[in-house]
Structure 1
Amino acid sequence: MRLPVLAALAVLTACGGIAGCATQAGPQAAQPAAVAPATGPKTAGSAAAYNPRGMVVSANPLATEAGLRVLREGGSAVDAAVAVQAVLGLVEPQSSGLGGGSFMVFYDAKTGKVTAYDGRETAPAGATPALFLGEDGKPVSFVAAVLSGRSTGVPGAVAMLAQAQKEHGAIGWDRLFLDAEKLADQGFVVSPRLASMINGRSPQGQTADAAAYFTKPDGRRYQAGETLKNPAYAATVRRLAAEGASALYEGPLAEAIVAKLHEGERPSAMTLADLAAYKPRSADALCRPWKVYSVCVPNPSSSGVSLLQALLMLEHTDIAKRGPRDPIAWTQIAEAERVMYADRDRYVGDPAKVTVPVEGLLEPAYVKQRAKLIGETAGPAPSFGLPKGAPKVGPDTTIEPGGTTHFVIVDAAGNVVSMTTTVESIFGSGRMVGGFFLNNQLTDFNFAPTDKDGLPGANAVAGGKRPRSSMSPVVVLDGKGKFLAAVGSPGGSAILSYNLKAMVGVFDWGLSMQDAVALPNLVARGDTFSGEVNRFGPELTAALQARGVMVKEGQNENSGLHGVIVRPGGKLEGGADPRREGVAKGLE
């Protein structure tokens, strides 16, 4: 017998979360795939927000306020996205910025069209498959690669936002950088998360540029609660506001970027021509029917196709009859993830350079076949499958650290932005220009150009190529093609697992958006099961282990899920990951 969703949430809350209810077994109290999951009880410390007119959910309150300021002035969701990104690059520089890249999924309320914008960085034209090989022909260490000039791709976030704003903006571009300029000039309060990164041990945080920026005159590094100013960043955003996106790709800023990347050992092949030639991509989003909805994600080189595959595979299980305290449900998620990653790691890359079998991976017969590998216990690590159109490519050894952020914006007209944006690792490459960090996105390529048989991987380095990305912002439409929900997360390769968990929580288990993003994280890839043992609790952890899911603590960066869902009457409900500093706030 299944209880109503409200009752299920009440039990979950009363038990103090999943850990407190972990001893309960069997199918759990959740309605399958409801348009209007419960809006009642919430877990303690909920960051949910409700408002019918608009909403911004981002990883920092200052960025959320910047987005809301633009919406109050009549700006669109895309206008607000520019403001949010500009502020995040200042107050959360460990995660994203002007020197990075991003993927955006945009829902147009007038037309119902969903567009995917690709602002992924590109390798310089002069990059070769030996980009990260040492003199001995072997891959250099990951840290050596990150800190080198060769790790940086041509930044794409600013160009992508400029294109989207030109097509969907409602107010002037020059109005979108006011918050970032003011905060950079007058200073902003260092948050606890930023302070932990400033005073952490990441190699990028120890570079000369980072040390100069984060060290006070007394020789100590900035701490939480102290005020940090960045006049160079203020000058950069003033230039962008006045001149447009071209200010980053031509002129003094572009020259400074190229000069910075040619410093030190392993200099970049980046040229001014590479920067001037950068073009963002846009196309219809990759959408597929799922339950009674339509789920839309970016096209490759995003790994959104893999998230779709996992969702479709789980439709062949009874996970919707289970719930967040059921070890079988989490085992099903883990097994779906393992299959998803096996295929993703083999086939996803830049479609302009390699064949990505998108249709084959999502073909119903193939999905059904792969779903047979999902059981109630963990089996051997699955191998990659052979979907229609699959090219013959080598294995992948890419390392993806998680230094990324995600935000969702809904404007008063109903337009929606779901955007994941990054500089890759913490503080990117650790090199700064114009007050912002440059990305180390090219380390998202497979360092080894070929396998032992000389077969290149789908994600091998090539000049002008976009590296594969795990970023997969999501937009969900209802059965009538109207906006229903948006969600996304940072977290390196674990992004796919985090997004999958949130989607299952909201649409299979009937949780609020806040409770769904707060669910424990479980990342299953190959023979490894990493997750949040403390959040699962000892009983559920033991039950998972009995099924072969040997969860161990992992993923230092962890999730930063943010989402919005439409409830009955057009009410917007937002959720912000309690693991970070995000906030969901409605437009008053």
Structure 2
Amino acid sequence: MLKSVIAGLLLLTAGAAVAQEAADSVAPESATRTGATQIGLLRAAQTAKDAGQPVTAENWMVAAAHPLAVAAGARVLSEGGTAADAMVAVQAVLGLVEPQSSGLGGGAFLLWYDAATGLLTTLDGRETAPLAATPRLFLDSDGEPLGFFDAVIGGLSVGVPGTPKLMEEVHRRWGRLSWPDLFDEAIDHAKNGFAVSPRMAASVARDAAQLAQHPATADYFLPDGVPVAEGHILKNPAYADSLTTLATIGAAPFYSGAIANQIVDAVRGANRPGALSAIDLALYSVKERPPVCVAYRGHEVCGMGPPSSGGVAVGQILGLLAPFDMAALGPDDPQSWRLIGDASRLAFADRGRYLADSDFVPVPVKGLLDPDYLTTRSGMLHRDDALPTVAPGAPEFDHALIWADDDAIEYPATSHISIVDSYGNALSMTTTIENGFGSRVMAAGFLLNNELTDFSFRSHRDGVPVANRVEPGKRPRSSMAPTIVLKHGRPVIVAGSPGGSSIIGYVAKTLIAMIDWGLDPQQAVSLPNRINRFGTYSVEDDALVPDLEALGYKVRQVDMNSGLHVIAIGSGGPRKLSGGADPRREGLAFGN
């Protein structure tokens, strides 16, 4: 509790970098190595993960954050379903067994590689701000920003959920199996109960005071006022009803029907009421966006563009590192991490100024990823020690680049799903309700997001507008970075992670580990996380602390709660698929 209070005070007074690091220090989800031994089908996958070995398969593979969700996806794939079918089944279960991370009340970004056409598609299922939202949404009566959790907890932070409509759209485009059959496991677990995992139990216990502020939420997570314990058999009949509606009717009732009404009532009846209305839900649409791709060592690394900053920032980090022989340096050389850390700092400086919803503000994506721009910026890395300071660059653009730096904070929650099916299709989806347990407001058996706090609380800084300010109908900037890496036009890596703004560093680390250092997926995700966004190096091990300090960095050692799920795709032959699941969480990679 004391750590939460201290972090809250820091958020009120700190600048963007210090505030973000304070947020990271109270990550709302527990890292754990326990998981799936109770599921016989997946015991071999758990054993391989515990031994630090990748899981291999010939036909298909799924990697996700909970064994029950992986089992649901595996059933669908084994019955001839596509990666799109399997994602629906996996997400439906995750919303029940990992409700603190994602669900029907949140949103997601998705990449799809279609084997039949060779095309890569990205879909934006990000939440939107209500039409009644204004740039003053998170300011108090004196025009000062609200405390972060004052803004988060309640209806004020809730945006229009995108996940139900995204699930439906992905199945409409690429699914093969019957839509209703994809919800069997999730409905069964919701009706008959599932065992609360160690991570969920720890998350509920840590957040009990916040969860208690809303009656429906408290009744579910704190029965008789006591947090649900590990192993407790938890049932959610309201979620089963919502899933049954989704399975039989589709997503429409979530946007203009009984469930939509429940969402609006919950938001407007919360302790801090929000402005979400029926018309906001009715107007929501999933958007297809152009992929963001960058060349790296003979590969094409593709991700999600605005309103996500993930694809651009990961692409920038790799582009800045391209002139350096990372393979020769290797993962144990402090100079590797100096280069990675300072490349990340440069990318974050650009991210803080330029990245936002491109439907509302012009974003210089092409300029930020231009090889000449990145080569010029990478020239600053030709040194032996840490960059003393970093600043945004000036990429080429046909609009004005007069923007103020953003100070939005992202807490390390969220979930990631990677799937490759027997037809050769690949799917990478990062899915979230933002902060652990989102707004803490529950409707129709699921938690509602707090995605609106991903906007900058300030609309201007020193009279200059912030690109990621709140505006009606706008989608807040995200760091989610679902990634598909192509070689000769075909996918070779499917990757992604939760983790707030650290997602960018987790994904970049993993790609460098696999492409430059030749590590397999399990080795890559298990590699110690070392993240630098704003100058201070956050590390989860002490191996390089003296070396990094000697290079001029301030270093802090913390738990870093990534949740990487990665599949590597070989050129053919037996065991062409190889998967890894982050040992810091309960997920698994499993295939056939």
TM-score computed with the length of structure 1 as normaliser: 0.89
| Paired residues of 1:428 and 1:439 also in contact (CA < 8 A) | yes
2: distance between equivalents of 1:269 and 1:221? 30
Secondary structure of 1:199's counterpart equals: helix
> 1:161 corresponds to which letter in structure 2?
M
Aligned to 2:237: 231
| Paired residues of 1:338 and 1:381 also in contact (CA < 8 A) | no
Secondary structure of 1:198's counterpart equals: helix
| Paired residues of 1:403 and 1:557 also in contact (CA < 8 A) | no
2: distance between equivalents of 1:238 and 1:557? 37
| Paired residues of 1:89 and 1:436 also in contact (CA < 8 A) | yes
Which residues of 2 match residues 405-554 of structure 1 at below 5 A?
A: 405-452=415-462, 454-478=463-487, 480-532=488-540, 535-537=541-543, 540-554=544-558
| Paired residues of 2:110 and 2:429 also in contact (CA < 8 A) | yes
Moved over 4 A (4+): none
Aligned to 1:130: 136
| Paired residues of 2:529 and 2:560 also in contact (CA < 8 A) | no
1:291: Cα distance to partner? 1.4
> 1:507 corresponds to which letter in structure 2?
I
Aligned to 1:560: 563
Deviation by residue 1:334-365 (Cα, 9 ceiling, x = unmatched) = 11110010001110000000011001001111
Aligned to 1:296: 302
1:260: Cα distance to partner? 0.9
2: distance between equivalents of 1:443 and 1:499? 23
- Give 2:81's match in structure 1, choosing from 72, 75, 84: 75
Q: Considering only aligned residues, what root-mean-square deviation do their CA atoms show, in Å?
A: 1.5
| Paired residues of 1:425 and 1:440 also in contact (CA < 8 A) | yes
Aligned to 1:572: 577
| Paired residues of 1:338 and 1:382 also in contact (CA < 8 A) | yes
Aligned to 2:172: 166
| Paired residues of 1:204 and 1:429 also in contact (CA < 8 A) | no
2: distance between equivalents of 1:362 and 1:300? 13
Name the % identity.
46
Deviation by residue 1:377-427 (Cα, 9 ceiling, x = unmatched) = 112120000001162111111011121000101111011110000000010
Q: Summarize the Cα distance change of 1:189–1:519 in structure 2 as closer, same or farther, 3 Å threshold.
A: same
| Paired residues of 1:143 and 1:203 also in contact (CA < 8 A) | no
Aligned to 1:359: 366
Q: Summarize the Cα distance change of 1:426–1:44 in structure 2 as closer, same or farther, 3 Å threshold.
A: closer
Aligned to 1:37: none
Which residues of 2 match residues 269-308 of structure 1 at below 5 A?
A: 269-303=275-309, 304-308=311-315
1: distance between equivalents of 2:143 and 2:272? 14
2: distance between equivalents of 1:293 and 1:203? 47
Q: Summarize the Cα distance change of 1:77–1:43 in structure 2 as closer, same or farther, 3 Å threshold.
A: closer
> 1:506 corresponds to which letter in structure 2?
M
- Give 1:332's match in structure 2, choosing from 326, 331, 339: 339
Aligned to 2:39: none
> 1:544 corresponds to which letter in structure 2?
L
1: distance between equivalents of 2:123 and 2:354? 21
Query: Where do 5+ consecutive residues of structure 2 fail to align?
Result: 1-47
1:265: Cα distance to partner? 4.8
1:283: Cα distance to partner? 3.2
1: distance between equivalents of 2:49 and 2:265? 50
> 1:405 corresponds to which letter in structure 2?
S
| Paired residues of 2:535 and 2:554 also in contact (CA < 8 A) | no
Which residues of 2 match residues 30-179 of structure 1 at below 5 A?
A: 45-46=51-52, 48-179=54-185
Deviation by residue 1:197-232 (Cα, 9 ceiling, x = unmatched) = 011136543333332102335x53221122111111
Deviation by residue 1:444-470 (Cα, 9 ceiling, x = unmatched) = 000011112x21111000000000000
Deviation by residue 1:164-201 (Cα, 9 ceiling, x = unmatched) = 11011101211111111000001011111001001113
| Paired residues of 2:50 and 2:583 also in contact (CA < 8 A) | no
1:443: Cα distance to partner? 0.2
User: How many residues are aligned here?
Assistant: 538
Q: Summarize the Cα distance change of 1:495–1:546 in structure 2 as closer, same or farther, 3 Å threshold.
A: same
1: distance between equivalents of 2:49 and 2:413? 27
| Paired residues of 1:520 and 1:536 also in contact (CA < 8 A) | no
Q: Summarize the Cα distance change of 1:190–1:291 in structure 2 as closer, same or farther, 3 Å threshold.
A: same
> 1:572 corresponds to which letter in structure 2?
L
Deviates most, 411-420 or 374-383 = 374-383
| Paired residues of 1:335 and 1:373 also in contact (CA < 8 A) | no
1:263: Cα distance to partner? 1.9
TM-score computed with the length of structure 2 as normaliser: 0.89
